[in-house]
Chains A and B, each alone.
Chain A
Amino acid sequence: MEFNGTVLVVDDEPHIRRYIGLILHKLGSPRIIEAANGEEAVALFAQHQPDLVLMDVNMPIMDGIHALEKICAANPDALVVMLTSLATRHVVERCLELGAVNFVRKDTPKEMMAKVLTETINDNFGEAEA
């Protein structure tokens, strides 16, 4: 399938945003918007209503958990996948509780990460929108 939706990539490290962006381009021709912290993410989500959000956890100004909470509270249908560096179980559980649909470790090999993202997209959009 070709994924051509809008994706908000949130990470304070630009090289990670670029790397994730390249993985997303393997899935199709998505429109990618970048945010460097939770606060920017909340604002950009409201402005662009992206189809998918990839959200880092540890960030300055506002962390990913807080941003996830705000985004999901305002948009219960938001599709947020958490990007973790160290998947400590309580962080993952907290995020799933707050409304994240999935999580993936940043150091997951890129093919595997692409697979997780594809599955998330398929599960939530189905073939109709693809």
Chain B
Amino acid sequence: MTHPAANSNGQPRIDLSGRRILVVEDDRLNARIIASILRPEGYVTHEVDSGEAALAAFAQFRPDLVLLDVVMDGINGFETCRRLKEDPSAANVPVIFITAKNQPEDIVAGLEAGGVDYVVKPFQPKEMVARIRTHLHLRALVDHQQHLIDDLSKANAAKNHFLGIAAHDLRNPLTSIRGLSEFMLDGSSGELSEDQRAMLRSVHSATHVMLDLLNELLDISIIESGEMRLDLSPTNLADLVTDAAFLNGLTAARKQMKIVCRPFKPSCALLIDARKIRQVVDNLLSNAIKFSPPGTTITVEFSEDGTHQTISVQDQGPGIPPGEMSMLFTSFGKTSVRPTGGEKSTGLGLAICRKIVEAHHGTVSAANREGGGADFRISLPPTATDHGV
């Protein structure tokens, strides 16, 4: 089909001339009258006189619409329609019944057989033409939308493929740069001057940042292409969160911040992918560090109800600006809040968190706290595997 051009309203402008209509009518005279009404409208018609002939002609003529008489020798119109709809290529082709049978039950039977409309004989030519135009138009719009969806899915898949390849190929060289600079820094290859050490430390930390960015890009490309797999094992959330709080606390200390994690004891272990959930907790903690001013405190709290275990990360930063809540968990969505220590951000971290938590059938949410600051929460059900993944 041709791609309709959009007019100024954004609606596709659709030229219906040249559309093909299969006319199935056992009365030759009637068939000729119908054809003589449709041709001046710019349609191409093909007339057949039975249901069997219609099924045979369909593949060759490839109509955009079928006008179908109901009462015919051989298989009737309803049965013809049912058999036609078994062919996947006919599934989207509108079928309009045209018949003298005008009882409501006849009309319902026709619609149930897969027809989209019903014209009762004797018909008004203008009415028939209008109904045909409507259905051709609808069909063209649906095709157009389908094309757009296909194009967008292809573009998104190509983007993910590109991200995957780019990130993958950039990672090995960066791994070497990081590793080799570590060897030089630890004196393995001889003593360095203080200047050289300072420069190497910059190389090393810049490489670290780049590797983190690349890993996030890779995560997104893997998640979006539907290739994320969970490696589930019974995990104590308290151990996981305490570890994360301790290690992120070292980063926080560099900004004179501290992470306070109230001790807690979950009632049961969770069946989760510990590495991925740790990634989520790390992300929430590093965000809290990134976006809060030096000297503030981050509080990690645990709560539990009958169904879910919830981790809450509360900071004393600027909170989430009004109206920007909706972009928090989208890919590349960055709010107007900037990191306070020049840290880097891809805008992917929370999108990754959301996908990981949702893959566990949990939820992630954010809110502003009454006294200021943001509160990010993840809630996980005890047995992710019960739902399958």
**A residues in contact (CB < 8 Å) with B:** 13, 15-16, 18-19, 22-23, 85-86, 88-89, 106-107, 110
Contact = CB atoms under 8 A, between A and B. Distances in A.
B180 A19 contact: yes
Contacts of B102: none
Contact of B173 (A13, A18, A86): A13
Interface string B152-184: 000000000000000010011101110110110
A18 to B, nearest CB: 7
A106 B180 contact: no
Contact of B172 (A22, A85, A89, A110): A85
Interface residues of B, number: 17
B180 A107 contact: no
B179 A19 contact: yes
Contacts of A15: 173, 176-177, 180
A8 B177 CA distance: 22
Contacts of B211: 107
B218 interface: yes
Interface of B: 168, 171-173, 175-177, 179-180, 182-183, 188, 211, 218, 227, 229, 231
B176 A16 contact: yes
A19 B176 contact: yes
Contacts of A19: 175-176, 179-180, 183
Contacts of A106: 171-172, 175
Nearest to A108: B175
Interface centre among B175, B183, B211 (most CB of A within 10 A): B175
Contacts, number: 39
B168 A18 contact: no
A18 B176 contact: yes
A36 to B, nearest CB: 14
A46 B236 CA distance: 48
Nearest to B175: A107
21 contacts: A13-B172, A13-B173, A15-B176, A15-B177, A15-B180, A16-B172, A18-B176, A18-B180, A19-B175, A19-B176, A19-B183, A22-B180, A85-B171, A85-B172, A88-B227, A106-B171, A106-B172, A106-B175, A107-B171, A110-B182, A110-B183
Nearest to B182: A110
Contacts of B183: 19, 22, 110
Contacts of B182: 110
A5 B159 CA distance: 45
Given A16-B175, A107-B171, 15 more contacts: A13-B172, A13-B173, A15-B173, A15-B180, A16-B176, A18-B176, A18-B180, A22-B179, A22-B180, A23-B179, A85-B171, A85-B172, A88-B227, A106-B172, A110-B179
